[in-house]
Structure 1
């Protein structure tokens, strides 16, 4: 048997990521949603931001030419080190300016050198946080079904300026966001049929909440899906679907 797995408390829903964040706890990795939008952690989508988190962590230990903790070689040229760090990381996946700056700092590159190299990379288009943010929104919404709130949170966590993150999130059409929410609910709906209406509602709205969907939208989409599945709205409390 595989030890360390607890059996109580029902089935855990997927979260936005493995870190603790406003949208839920750690996800169950490796599960797919079974049609529709892929669930977090399945690694099924091919996007410009790389593969599974575990493989990415191992790769980041070596992509800068050694472990980050080694710091700057006293005989090395700081600018050359900064360029190598940036180019190595960009060859693996797109990076924000903040991510590259942090990688250079871990190598011991002085701040003024980091700023100069990053400015030049920005001038030639190798670093473009706005383009990164737009691609991130498209990829993570299509591949993982994340809503605007969750997408904005992830972008800011990666060092994208709030205004730039907000602009990227606004490119997501509200109608597309609602359509994705419906697809997520439709994919999960059959597995909830053994539950009573209130438990089904909590399970499905919890799924959407962890992906960043606002309560009003989540409750409306779930209510309509349950009614279409034969659940009488009278089986739920009168104010259950209040925004």
Structure 2
């Protein structure tokens, strides 16, 4: 049996959710609806880019100009260039399990994923194995992106171990038939997050990548 590791990206490889959701809170506030960082986490986190735009339009009660999406995206990417960091321990974890097939399956857009991997100097670790939910019919919590990723790396979904930080991602991983580890290592994790991942069906919870390593060693030994 071949096992594989499928990584979500934001909050699992890149500690990006605080940065991206801070931008979201700023732009929605500028559009006339005061929005906190916690509001942005609740309303926008984990969604595909065009779903985020649609959600903003619903929040502000009007259509946004065609130029908005590009301007918002560039503002977010600039923030990433200035301050994006990896989740602590992720590079060492990847090196530890370098012999296992791996890929990224994320709700983020391909250009954002490419830029972030470049900023983190991790592009070679996932060359040709970065998959975006913008290229499948449905985003998380539907399983489409994980089923797509498993097919592309030629590993059965039931033999994949998915590392996720969001309840929607956990639901998607479970729906795909994979084993799901809920990771609680990113800067946006707050009280109640562990319960949310557990309630969504995470098979395991891990506070950091040392805990993820121990879980995966047990899974591989089973």
TM-score under structure 1 length normalisation: 0.29
Structure with bigger strand share is 2
Query: Which structure's relative contact order is higher, taking Cα pairs within 8 Å and 6+ residues apart?
Result: 2
